Amino acid sequence: MTTHQRTLRIATRGRGTQEITDAVNAVLRDSGVTTGLCHVFVQHTSCSLTITENADPDVRRDLETVMSRLAPDGDPAYRHDLEGPDDMAAHVRAVLTDTSLTVPVGDARLRLGTWQGIYLWEHRMQGATRSVVVTVMG
Protein backbone atom coordinates (compact mmCIF):
# COMPACT_ATOMS: atom_id res chain seq x y z
CA MET A 1 0.00 0.00 0.00
CA THR A 2 1.16 3.50 -0.86
CA THR A 3 0.45 6.49 1.37
CA HIS A 4 1.05 10.08 0.29
CA GLN A 5 0.27 13.15 2.39
CA ARG A 6 0.45 16.89 1.87
CA THR A 7 -0.81 19.89 3.82
CA LEU A 8 -2.45 22.56 1.69
CA ARG A 9 -2.53 26.17 2.86
CA ILE A 10 -5.77 27.77 1.68
CA ALA A 11 -6.31 31.53 2.04
CA THR A 12 -10.02 32.17 2.50
CA ARG A 13 -11.83 35.39 1.66
CA GLY A 14 -14.12 35.31 4.68
CA ARG A 15 -17.43 33.58 5.25
CA GLY A 16 -18.48 31.34 2.39
CA THR A 17 -17.36 28.38 0.35
CA GLN A 18 -14.20 28.02 -1.68
CA GLU A 19 -13.75 25.10 -4.05
CA ILE A 20 -10.58 23.09 -3.39
CA THR A 21 -11.25 20.13 -5.71
CA ASP A 22 -8.39 21.04 -8.06
CA ALA A 23 -5.91 21.35 -5.18
CA VAL A 24 -6.96 17.94 -3.81
CA ASN A 25 -6.71 16.45 -7.32
CA ALA A 26 -3.15 17.78 -7.59
CA VAL A 27 -2.17 15.88 -4.43
CA LEU A 28 -3.83 12.75 -5.83
CA ARG A 29 -1.91 13.08 -9.13
CA ASP A 30 1.39 13.48 -7.25
CA SER A 31 0.64 10.38 -5.17
CA GLY A 32 0.58 8.01 -8.14
CA VAL A 33 -2.34 6.13 -6.54
CA THR A 34 -4.83 4.73 -9.05
CA THR A 35 -7.26 2.95 -6.70
CA GLY A 36 -7.84 3.73 -3.04
CA LEU A 37 -9.06 6.51 -0.80
CA CYS A 38 -8.41 10.22 -0.49
CA HIS A 39 -8.97 11.65 2.99
CA VAL A 40 -9.23 15.43 3.45
CA PHE A 41 -9.05 17.00 6.94
CA VAL A 42 -9.15 20.66 7.99
CA GLN A 43 -7.13 21.51 11.12
CA HIS A 44 -9.41 24.24 12.47
CA THR A 45 -12.57 24.59 14.58
CA SER A 46 -14.22 27.51 12.80
CA CYS A 47 -14.34 26.23 9.22
CA SER A 48 -15.34 22.94 7.65
CA LEU A 49 -15.33 20.80 4.53
CA THR A 50 -18.26 19.81 2.39
CA ILE A 51 -19.03 18.05 -0.85
CA THR A 52 -21.80 19.86 -2.68
CA GLU A 53 -22.96 20.99 -6.09
CA ASN A 54 -20.30 22.76 -8.13
CA ALA A 55 -22.54 23.91 -11.02
CA ASP A 56 -25.01 26.40 -9.55
CA PRO A 57 -23.55 28.86 -6.99
CA ASP A 58 -27.07 29.49 -5.68
CA VAL A 59 -26.85 26.13 -3.90
CA ARG A 60 -23.91 27.36 -1.82
CA ARG A 61 -25.57 30.74 -1.19
CA ASP A 62 -28.72 28.95 0.00
CA LEU A 63 -26.66 26.70 2.29
CA GLU A 64 -25.18 29.84 3.82
CA THR A 65 -28.70 31.23 4.34
CA VAL A 66 -29.80 28.06 6.13
CA MET A 67 -26.65 28.02 8.27
CA SER A 68 -27.20 31.66 9.30
CA ARG A 69 -30.62 30.64 10.63
CA LEU A 70 -29.22 27.63 12.52
CA ALA A 71 -26.22 29.44 14.00
CA PRO A 72 -26.74 33.21 13.94
CA ASP A 73 -23.90 35.60 14.75
CA GLY A 74 -24.09 37.41 18.06
CA ASP A 75 -26.75 35.25 19.69
CA PRO A 76 -27.02 36.62 23.26
CA ALA A 77 -27.15 33.04 24.58
CA TYR A 78 -23.54 32.44 23.46
CA ARG A 79 -20.94 32.71 26.20
CA HIS A 80 -17.88 32.23 23.95
CA ASP A 81 -17.37 35.48 22.03
CA LEU A 82 -13.69 36.27 22.60
CA GLU A 83 -13.04 36.94 18.92
CA GLY A 84 -16.26 38.75 18.05
CA PRO A 85 -19.93 38.06 17.34
CA ASP A 86 -19.15 35.42 14.68
CA ASP A 87 -16.85 33.42 17.00
CA MET A 88 -19.26 30.92 18.58
CA ALA A 89 -21.48 30.82 15.48
CA ALA A 90 -18.42 29.67 13.49
CA HIS A 91 -17.77 26.85 15.95
CA VAL A 92 -21.41 25.72 15.83
CA ARG A 93 -21.36 25.75 12.02
CA ALA A 94 -18.20 23.62 11.97
CA VAL A 95 -19.75 21.10 14.37
CA LEU A 96 -22.91 20.87 12.24
CA THR A 97 -20.89 20.13 9.11
CA ASP A 98 -17.65 18.10 8.68
CA THR A 99 -13.98 18.62 9.41
CA SER A 100 -13.02 15.61 7.28
CA LEU A 101 -14.14 13.86 4.11
CA THR A 102 -13.17 10.61 2.43
CA VAL A 103 -13.55 10.22 -1.33
CA PRO A 104 -12.94 6.98 -3.25
CA VAL A 105 -10.19 6.99 -5.88
CA GLY A 106 -10.52 4.98 -9.08
CA ASP A 107 -8.69 5.19 -12.40
CA ALA A 108 -6.33 7.70 -10.73
CA ARG A 109 -9.12 10.24 -10.14
CA LEU A 110 -11.49 11.28 -7.41
CA ARG A 111 -14.73 9.38 -7.88
CA LEU A 112 -16.91 12.45 -7.32
CA GLY A 113 -20.30 12.66 -8.99
CA THR A 114 -20.85 14.82 -12.06
CA TRP A 115 -21.95 17.93 -10.14
CA GLN A 116 -19.90 17.42 -6.96
CA GLY A 117 -17.00 19.53 -5.76
CA ILE A 118 -14.98 19.63 -2.55
CA TYR A 119 -15.30 22.93 -0.68
CA LEU A 120 -13.60 24.57 2.25
CA TRP A 121 -16.39 26.40 4.08
CA GLU A 122 -15.11 29.40 6.00
CA HIS A 123 -17.43 30.26 8.88
CA ARG A 124 -15.64 33.39 10.13
CA MET A 125 -16.39 36.81 8.64
CA GLN A 126 -12.69 37.57 8.15
CA GLY A 127 -10.51 35.56 5.84
CA ALA A 128 -7.82 33.30 7.26
CA THR A 129 -5.15 30.89 6.09
CA ARG A 130 -6.42 27.36 6.68
CA SER A 131 -4.44 24.11 6.81
CA VAL A 132 -5.99 21.18 4.98
CA VAL A 133 -4.28 17.78 5.25
CA VAL A 134 -4.80 15.53 2.21
CA THR A 135 -3.88 11.86 2.63
CA VAL A 136 -4.06 9.47 -0.31
CA MET A 137 -3.88 5.72 0.30
CA GLY A 138 -3.96 2.96 -2.26
DSSP 111-135: ---TTEEEEEEE-SSS--EEEEEEE
- The stretch 117-130 carries a mean pLDDT of 98
Does residue 81 surpass a pLDDT of 90?
no
Helix, strand and coil in the chain, % to nearest 5: 25, 40, 35
Contacts of 96 (CB under 8 A, 6+ apart): 67, 70, 71
Give 82's pLDDT tier (boundaries 50, 70, 90): confident
User: 46: helix, coil or strand?
Assistant: coil
pLDDT digits (tens, 9 = 90+) for 99-109: 999 999 999 99
User: 101: helix, coil or strand?
Assistant: strand
Helix (H) or strand (E) holding 59: helix 57-70
Q: In 10 A of CB 106, how many CB atoms?
A: 11
Does residue 18 surpass a pLDDT of 90?
yes
How would you label 67-105 residue by residue, b for 16+ Cβ within 10 Å and e otherwise? Answer: beeebebeeeebeeeeeeebbbbbbbbbeebbeebebeb
* Distance (Å, whole) CA 34 – CA 2: 10
pLDDT digits (tens, 9 = 90+) for 22-80: 999 999 999 999 999 999 999 999 999 999 999 999 999 999 999 999 999 999 999 99
pLDDT at residue 74, rounded to an integer: 96
Give 83's pLDDT tier (boundaries 50, 70, 90): very high
pLDDT at residue 38, rounded to an integer: 98
All structural domains of the chain, each given as residue ranges with its CATH number in brackets, are: 3-137 (2.60.120.460)
Distance from the first to the final alpha carbon of the chain: 5
Strand partners, 101: 40
pLDDT at residue 95, rounded to an integer: 97
